[in-house]
Structure 1
Amino acid sequence: MRLQLNDVSPTPLNPRRNFGTPEELTRFGEELRAAQLAACVAVSRDVYLNLWPDHADHIGDVKHVLVNGERRYRGACQVGLDALDFVVRDELAASRETFINHLLKENLDRADFDIIERARGISELVAVCAEESERGARARAAEHLGKDRSWITHQLSLLDLPEAIQAMLSSGDLPERDGRLLVRQLKENPGLTEADLLQFLKDQKAARSAEKEAERALLAAAAARRRTLPSWRKRALLMPPVAHQHNWTAARQPHRPPPRPTVRATRRPIRLHPVRMPSPSLSRSRARTSSRLSCRRRTRNGHPPSSPRPP
């Protein structure tokens, strides 16, 4: 629907504070005058005051409270537009957690949403979640945002830094990695001032730079030694390892081939002799001898032989 800008007021709960310079807002407002690609999101006044009745003096007598699209609202006011397209979604004000969660999710993926603004929005969400129960407030906030609880803790710790360092984080002059380093240092030494933290960060950067310079010097020296090596030495360093061990000193010399590995036998090999089968004539002779002996034994024991002695 089309709403008059005089009937809309932005919410004071929006963690975003940087909306651009007046020149940027003017340029953006002229783009909105030509075409508005996305509608702003708002809720009714009565629904909003049911959640935050103490904001009545801040929003005034307007009929709707802006949830998302404050930069579009400010850009339109900068160029003197009277109305914009809005979507009224009173279901976003069903609870404080739902309202803050939607307000924060819309800004988390924005490129111009700086680190400190994000930390302030997360702090507001944790505070709203703590109204129900102090225990597990950060875990519920992490669940709303789809993040880990440790990520919530790291974001909130940035708000413990001095105001000047927070301003450096907001402007982008100080990366978030250095901000977390300063947070750890401040946690270990609570009495440090802003100048002490900046001096500590300067010393850390100098130490890292010295380490990188020493590493580059070592790599340059190794490359220089490699360039002065003879060609056969370079080839030997590039040779792949082999399965057997041999004299590497001889292997590195191209005119002397490496000796073959010698295998020493620890025990004598077992020789297998062929089995000799008896001939048929020898088998018949052994059969006659056995028959004569059996006949003699029976005669000696008093029993006649069962068959005459063979000739």
Structure 2
Amino acid sequence: MNRIDALFGRLRAEGRHALMPFLTAGDPDLATTGLLIREMVRKGADMIELGIPYSDPIADGPVIAESYHRALQRGIKVSHIFQTVRTLRAEGAPELDGTPIVSMVSYAIIHRVGVERYLNEAATAGFDGLIVPDLPLEESAALMDRATARGLKLIQLITPATPRDRAEGIARLTTGFIYYVSVAGITGERRELPPDLVENVAWLRTRTELPICIGFGIGAPDQVRRLAPVADGLIVGSALVRRLADAINRPRAEVVKEVGEFIGELAGAMKIQAGEPG
């Protein structure tokens, strides 16, 4: 069974929700990315989203866009990221056994690498799915079928601006979980989230049996406590990536510890919401 399906099946049985941090692969370097993944899982992360650096990100705000730029300046390539994940899986760390890893990747990168090659290498490296923010809906079915044949999930985005008939079409061509974008616009931390967010997610639940995970704008424990009952998972990106902006100039152990503590705070907020000891 794909690790994503296994994770959500387990969490539903336990009455819990997934905490899903986002990292830009290779920021500040790939060795640190590997250490951060292991530390975040130890501190309560349930799934890891790895951003594949791209020179022209579609929906990313300045924090993540700058992290992509830093990684590209250091020569990070897709093949290097695959090897990092392959090594993590091969190391056999117990905390990573059931932890899904998904890539956030531009379709332009997949096309450049080659669809068959990208999917083959992602699957053999140990990825469990891919999020493709610029994938045209009209090309989704073909990519979904090819990904499914390799045991990979194709996770697609639905936004508040997505017309409802189109949202239903996207849901039908999605596997693993739906990534619901909480706000219109680009990634980045927000003090307030839209008042109609709960209503939109509730409507979407009437149209799909897939888990629904909320991303964009989530970056504080109080937001986690408010949104955890609404979604099957919460994705935290910019608030985490921001903490790595100056990591290249700091001791690696210090950076890993700081990020781990932040993830621990968010995981604790989710436990409190679920009625578990904080």
TM-score > 0.5, shorter chain as reference: no
Q: Scaled by the length of structure 1, what TM-score is found?
A: 0.21
Larger RCO (alpha carbons 8 Å, 6+ apart): 2
Structure (1/2) with the larger helix percentage: 1
Q: Scaled by the length of structure 2, what TM-score is found?
A: 0.22
